[in-house]
Amino acid sequence: METATSSTENRRYNDESNFLDGLYEFHPEFFKQLTEQEREVLQTYYLVDSDVPDNIFVYRHELIQRQPHIENEAHQAFSELLKLAGVEKFQYSHD
């Protein structure tokens, strides 16, 4: 079963998702500075401001199977958002 700790990728995705949830809640203005495409890919990949399925890690795995390019696009949008928020280096909880 896919969990937040079942793989390094899941741990990183969980950290990134949690960061985005908090940033969106307290600083939605940063998201408004992204392109529409960047916002859409963050919403699709990280489920920003969306309903979350029972197992987000299974969702992510299935999404990548259907849209292999989305992971790279999401990481690019995530990096852009970090720049807008003034975050020089994102700290992962398990690295």
Query: For residue 20, what are its two tokens?
Result: 């985005």
Residue 11 has pLDDT above 80, yes or no: yes
Q: If pLDDT is split at 50, 70 and 90, which confidence band does 95 have? A: low
Q: If pLDDT is split at 50, 70 and 90, which confidence band does 1 have? A: confident
Residues 42-88 pLDDT 10s: 999 999 999 999 999 999 999 999 999 999 999 999 999 999 999 99
Residues 30-42 pLDDT 10s: 999 999 999 999 9
**Cβ proximity of 92 and 11 under 8 Å:** yes
pTM: 0.93
